[in-house]
Each structure stands twice: as structure tokens, then as C-alpha cells.
């Protein structure tokens, strides 16, 4: 057995803690960009979203229906692109 081969090896009686990762880092601050992608043979539009109190490296590409308060943020994003 391993205990016979390595008598000085310490056993680790505790299992590592399982940490759940949230899907979104918090409320949306603004929509930055839009892109079209092909997913399962269908064209889809995704939006690059910045979250409140987060840096740019936490930005995520999300589908329209995955954005919290999407209507409000997308309306602002589209208006900012017109000017």
C-alpha cells in the first residue's frame, strides 16, 4: 500500500472546498460593443457588457436575453451609436 511505501507522507483528511462561480459578476453598467456570431447554423447577436464596479478584464459577451435590464441598456447603446 501507499502507507507502507511512503510512511512519512501526511494524509489529507479534508476535501477541497467546492466554490460556485456566479455567471455574471453583478449588475450591468453599460453595453460596449455588438458582434454577430453563427451558433448552431443560426446568426446571433452578442453584446460586450461591462459590469458595475468591475474592470474591463471582467467584460463578457452575452446574448440579448442574458443581459439584466437588457431593453434599457441596449436602447442606450443603440442611441450612442447614432450620434
Q: Does 83 reside within a domain?
A: yes
**CATH number, residue 53:** 2.40.50.40
Give yes or no for residue 18 having a pLDDT over 60.
Answer: no
Q: Does 56 reside within a domain?
A: yes
Q: Does 31 reside within a domain?
A: yes
Summarised one tens digit per residue, pLDDT across range 63-72 is: 998 898 989 9
Summarised one tens digit per residue, pLDDT across range 28-52 is: 999 999 999 998 888 999 999 999 9
Q: Does 62 reside within a domain?
A: yes
Q: Does 73 reside within a domain?
A: yes
Q: Does 21 reside within a domain?
A: no
pLDDT band at 16 (very low <50, low <70, confident <90, very high): low
d(CA 40, CA 80): 31
| Grid coordinates belonging to 72 | 434599457
Q: Is the pTM of this model over 0.85?
A: no
Domain limits at 39? 27-83
Q: Does 17 reside within a domain?
A: no
HSE toward the beta carbon, residue 67, CA cutoff 13 A: 27
How many domains does the structure of the chain reveal?
1
d(CA 83, CA 71): 19
Amino acid at each position: 500500500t501507499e502507507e507502507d511505501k511512503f510512511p512519512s507522507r501526511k494524509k489529507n483528511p479534508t476535501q477541497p472546498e467546492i466554490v460556485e462561480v456566479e455567471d455574471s459578476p453583478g449588475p450591468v453598467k453599460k453595453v460596449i460593443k455588438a458582434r454577430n456570431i453563427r451558433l448552431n447554423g443560426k446568426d446571433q447577436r452578442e453584446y460586450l457588457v461591462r459590469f458595475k464596479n468591475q474592470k474591463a478584464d471582467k467584460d463578457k459577451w452575452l446574448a440579448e436575453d442574458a443581459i439584466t435590464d437588457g431593453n434599457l441598456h441596449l436602447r442606450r447603446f443603440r442611441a450612442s451609436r447614432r450620434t
